[in-house]
Structure 1
Amino acid sequence: MATVEFRQASRIYDPERPPAVSRVNLDIADGEFLVLVGPSGCGKSTTLRMLAGLEPIDEGQIFIDGKDVTETRARDRDVAMVFQSYALYPNMTARQNMAFALENKKVDKATIDERVAFATKMLELEDLIDKKPAAMSGGQRQRVAMGRAIVRQPKVFLMDEPLSNLDAKLRVSTRAQIAALQRELGTTTVYVTHDQTEAMTLGDRVCVLKSGILQQVDSPAVLYENPGNTFVATFIGSPSMSLLDGIAVENGRAVLGEGHTLDLGMTSEQAAKVKGDKVIIGVRPENWEIVAINSDAPLDTPSVPLEVALVEHLGSEQYAYCHPIMTADSPVTVRGERITVRAPKGTLDQGDTIRVRPVPGSVVFFDPETEINLNYL
């Protein structure tokens, strides 16, 4: 096991274009499971390959267990990588694939047999140990690839989207297996995925990247409930957080609805950080409270009118994708022109008109210029 540290680490393919990875500062604790997540092309795989020694570091440094490995060859870094494409030798059995790296290092046969047996039992590969990759399913090949990494007993495991080639059901079961495996071994693990659900369920901490720039590193719960900026807010969570621009701030209160009567619960500390008279708000689907359905009657409770455009049925619950009903001169705009509301099953249908309000204390406030969460300013 080992700590990992990135210090201002950059990867620059073309000096005329922005860096693929730009000045990343990141500390990974001994035994931690850290997930790198972000959209395609954000630099997450490049960051992992820099740590593995498969990509050069153009600026900055990388340390493993306190040792500067910036110029160290990949073979000398004591890391083991699990690739998206499995990268198994097709002419070798599972046993031979797992033992190959140890044999190259001239490890004695007894130790090799012991380590292979340990990995075989842990990954339930007993029935596959003498089969070649062509006779295995995708999930079985991925387990062999993980076994090959385990037998090396490295300081750090690196996993580059190892589940992306699996079907949905197998992805869920293998994900649980990886989590259990990491807990049992306690090896520092850096895992790359574009699937934010994977990131949220696997990682002790999650690092969100965008265009090669680190956006936020924190626990899954903090990223979900208190995202650092609007990008993290909309990327983390499925369905994503709804964002409303142009929310008025009056006398230290963020207000919405007809006549600005709906108080959104901004704290005095947050209000002190607002530079103008507007703010961006974010609300998760489960944090909208439905106060009326298909009713034109006046309400004592201030609320926001929405029209249900689409309903997703998910068994015990449903998600309603709604268009806001606002006057043409309203200063408020909804990003994507859609607000997502979670409701109990059978509650809503397409074409319904509903009125909603945020659950008290659930609104996240962002600065309209920097789009940074006011709590972090």
Structure 2
Amino acid sequence: MAIVEYQQASRIYDPSRPPAVNRVSLTVTDGEFLVLVGPSGSGKSTAMRMLAGLEPIDEGSVLIDDVDVSELRARDRDVAMVFQSYALYPNMTARQNMAFALQNLKLPKAEIDQQVQRAAAMLELEPLLDKKPSQMSGGQRQRVAMGRSIVRNPKVFCMDEPLSNLDAKLRVSTRAQIGSLQRELGVTTVYVTHDQTEAMTMGDRVAVLKEGVLQQVDEPTHLYEHPGNTFVAGFIGSPAMTLIDGATVTSDGRAQLGPGHGMDLGLPREHVAKTTDQVIVGVRPESWEIVGGADGASDGQESLPLTVRLVEKLGGEAFLHCHARETESMTAAVRGHQLVLRLDHGFKDIAPDSTIHVRPKPGSSMFFHPENEINLEYL
């Protein structure tokens, strides 16, 4: 087990372009499962490879247990890597693949056999130990790759999108297995994924990256409920949060969709002084309520009209993919003009191309500064 520290660490491929990893400062505590998440090109895999010694560190440093490892070779860092592509030797059995690194360390055969058997038992690989990768499924190969890392008993695990090659059902079961295995071993783990569902369900904490810059690090639930800016708000959560630009802040401290629009979006009083005469509003799919059909809100209050484009029925819930319709009283605009609502079990059937009227549930909206797009909670 170990403590990992990134100290203003940067990776610069081309000095004429922004760094792939830009002055990242981050501490991974002893035994923690930290997930690096972000879209393609955000620098998450590069940041992890800098820790593993597979990418140089151009500025700053990376420390493991207070030792600067920036100049150490990968083999000298005591970091084990699990790759997306398994990277197993095809001519070796599972047993031989798992034992290979220990044989290179010239450990006694009895100790190697004990370590391999222990890892195989943890990963339920005993029936596969004498099979070659070509005789295994993708999930089995990934477990062998994990076993190869476990037998080394490293200070740090680095996992680079290890589930992306698996089918959906196998991803779920393997995800749970990795999580329970990490808790059992207690090894500090840095896990890279572009899948925010993996990030939310697996990580003790989640670090969100965008264009090489660390946006926010927090526990999954807090990250979802209190995103630091509009990027984190839109990236974390599936379907994504709806963002409404240009909502008007009235003289009496209310946020509305326009000066002539009566719907109160629930801007907290303590946030009024933190913004200008406008604010960006964020609403999660589960935070909308349907208040009327084509004729408008059933209680006569103002609402947002939507045209239903697609209904996704998933059994216990449904998602309505809607197009936001602007009205004369609105100056605000739904970003991308698309909005998704989640309806729980027992929802009433709604036909595509129908019109509905919605409002955010009281107290459910989030508010962001119109210029820097930071959550007003943090200003």
TM-score after normalising by structure 1? 0.97
CA contact (8 A) 2:258 2:332 kept: no
CA distance in 1, matches of 2:186, 2:364: 35
Q: Which runs of 5+ in 1 are unaligned?
A: none
Deviation, 1:357, is 1.0
Listed as ranges, the matches of 1:127-142 within 5 Å are 127-142=127-142
Q: Which letter maps to 1:327?
A: T
Letter in structure 1 aligned against 2:372: T
1:241-320 to structure 2, matched below 5 A, reads 241-250=241-250, 251-256=252-257, 259-274=260-275, 276-296=276-296, 299-320=299-320
CA displacement, residues 237-281 of structure 1 (integer Å, 9 cap, x when unaligned): 11100000010101222123783322222222211211x200000
Q: Which residue of 2 aligns with 1:366?
A: 368
User: Secondary structure of the residue that 1:272 maps to in structure 2?
Assistant: helix
Q: What is the SS of the residue equivalent to 2:127? A: coil
Match of 1:194?
194
Are the counterparts in 2 of residues 20 and 211 from structure 1 also a CA contact under 8 Å? yes
In structure 2, relative to structure 1, the CA distance for the partners of 1:23 and 1:162 (3 Å cut) is same
Contact 2:291-2:359 within 8 A present in 1 as well: yes
Structure 2 CA distance, aligned partners of 1:8 and 1:49?
16
> Counterparts in 2 of 1:109-120, with a 5 A limit?
109-120=109-120
- Give the drift of 1:354: 1.1
Higher mean C-alpha deviation, range 133-142 or range 320-329:
320-329
1:293, CA displacement in angstroms?
2.5
Deviates more, 1:354-363 or 1:341-350: 341-350
The alignment status of 1:227 with 2:227, answered yes or no, reads yes
Contact 2:248 2:259 in 1 (8 A): no
Match of 1:215 in 2: 215
Task: Name the counterpart of 1:104.
Answer: 104
Distance 2:184 2:137 in 1: 25
Report the secondary structure of 2:14's partner residue: coil
Residue 331, structure 1, aligned to residue 331, structure 2 = yes
Q: What SS does structure 1 have at the residue aligned with 2:341?
A: strand
2:92 aligned residue = 92
Contact kept, 8 Å, 1:258 with 1:302, in 2: the verdict is: no
User: What amino acid is aligned across from residue 302 of structure 2 in structure 1?
Assistant: P
1:295, CA displacement in angstroms? 3.3
**More deviation in 154-163 or 335-344?**
335-344
**Could you say which residue in structure 2 is the equivalent of 1:174?**
174
C-alpha deviation, 1:347, in angstroms:
3.0
Indicate the larger mover: 326-335 or 309-318.
Answer: 326-335
Query: 1:329: how far off?
Result: 6.9
Is residue 8–residue 61 contact of structure 1 (8 Å, CA) maintained in 2? yes
Indicate the larger mover: 290-299 or 335-344: 290-299
Greater alpha carbon shift after TM alignment, 249-258 vs 107-116: 249-258
Counterpart contact for 1:257–1:303, Cα < 8 Å: no
RMSD between aligned residues: 1.4
**Please, which moves more after superposition, 347-356 or 37-46?**
347-356
Q: Residues 58-97 of structure 1: matches in 2 within 5 Å?
A: 58-97=58-97
For 1:32 and 1:191, locate their aligned partners in 2 and report how far apart those are by CA, in whole Å: 11
* Counterpart secondary structure, 1:327: coil
The number of residue pairs the alignment matches comes to 376
Identity within the alignment, %? 68
Rounded to whole Å, the distance in 2 between the matches of 1:62 and 1:320 is 45
**CA 1:32–1:297 in 2, change beyond 3 Å: closer, same or farther?**
closer
Deviations 1:298-327 (A, max 9, x none): 633332221111111111211111122222
CA distance in 2, matches of 1:170, 1:5: 33
1:162, distance to aligned residue in structure 2 (A): 0.4
Task: Kindly state the Cα deviation for residue 77 of structure 1 after the two structures are TM-superposed.
Answer: 0.5
Using the alignment, how far apart are the partners of 1:348 and 1:317 within structure 2? Answer: 13
Q: Under a length normalisation based on structure 2, what TM-score does the superposition of the two structures give?
A: 0.96
SS across alignment from 1:49: helix
Equivalent-residue separation in structure 2 for 1:230 and 1:169 (angstroms):
31
Aligned counterparts of 2:297 and 2:38: Cα–Cα separation in 1: 45
- Structure 1, residues 2-35: CA drift from partner, whole Å, max 9, x if none? 0100000000001011101000000111010000
